[in-house]
Amino acid sequence: MSYAVETRDLTRIFAGKKKRRIRRKRAASEGDEHLGPVTALDEVSIQIRDGELFGMLGPNGAGKTTLIKILATLLLPTSGQAFVAGHDVAKDPFPIRQRINMVSGGETSGYGLLTARENVWMFSQFYGVPSKVSKGRIDELMHTFGLWDKRDAKVRMLSTGQRQKMNMIRGFVTDPDILFLDEPTLGLDVNAARVIREYVTNWVRSQEGKTVLLTTHYMAEADQMCDRIAIIDNGKILACDTPDNLKRMIRTETTFRLEVDTMRDTATFSTMQGVKNFSHTDDISKNRTNLTFIL
């Protein structure tokens, strides 16, 4: 079976850096401190199907951005293999670049002296999109993302949310087969984040063969949007499954306590489906029965 994205034991190790500390009454060289190599990705193996909205969930520093950069052919792996659209990212990057796009949350938003529309159009030309086609897509996307009224505003005059919407439009204007989204809603207000989540989800669902790899540290975002989620921490994949299956894996026992009028027959509660344990106590003075269910 072919995959839109596949990695096999993908590893990326960054060389150690020399950290300089300032110490009084000592030579500067005595304050040098060497930091060891950092393993950002540790034998990561994932398979993302065509048409899938796949989530990579993990805290800051887990390796999410490093993975995205390797898949986008911006960074080479130390070892292992990565394939995008059937091509090896290290050996055959050029066909990959023709079929992908990438948007990162919090990234620099274009050129401040250009307008929002000019910025997106310029990036579309880097990808070889015909100018007439590009302008039509830009107008449509700016209406969709609520940026139409700001289309001729200089980028430096846009708010954080408006700049990120512009970045998202830049990601979609090339109509990529595979889109890498690295924490696209980072730092956005609720409404701006909602617009982006809804559009990304609808884009994948409404078009055949469109694939998205979304990285996030928001659990609710991954649960709401993704077909499958891989949980990553310290460069390792800890689990990978559908949101429902992952929630079942971590679900703990739930206890319910109810107080009702005195009940004589409580034996049937112990045999109810889903009840792991049941107990009850009677408060004769109040003519009440306390029921405890563990599910």
- Residue 52: the pLDDT is 97
Q: Is 64 within 8 Å of 58 (Cβ atoms)?
A: yes
- Residue 147: the pLDDT is 94
Based on its alpha-carbon atoms, the radius of gyration of the chain, rounded to whole angstroms, reads: 26
Inform me whether the pLDDT recorded for 27 exceeds 50.
Answer: no
Q: Is 269 within 8 Å of 259 (Cβ atoms)?
A: no
- Residue 29: the pLDDT is 45
- Residue 26: the pLDDT is 45
- Residue 33: the pLDDT is 57
Q: Regarding predicted confidence, which is higher, 148 or 264? A: 148
Cα(232)–Cα(238) distance, rounded to whole angstroms?
A: 6
Interval 94-123 mean pLDDT: 91
| Alpha carbon distances (Å) from 256 to 138, 261, 288, 295 | 53, 17, 16, 8
**Which amino acid, one-letter code, is at 236?**
K
- Residue 253: the pLDDT is 62
Give the CA dihedral 110, 115, 121, 122, nearest 10 degrees.
-50
Which tens digit of pLDDT belongs to each residue from 252-285? 667 777 777 776 677 777 777 777 777 777 777 7
| pTM of the entire predicted model | 0.79
- Residue 22: the pLDDT is 46
In degrees, rounded to 5, the angle at the alpha carbon of residue 138 between the alpha carbons of residues 137 and 142 is 120
Weakest-pLDDT range from 30-39, 216-225, 255-264: 30-39
**Which tokens hold the place of 43?**
């034998």
Q: In the predicted model, what is the mean pLDDT of the chain?
A: 88
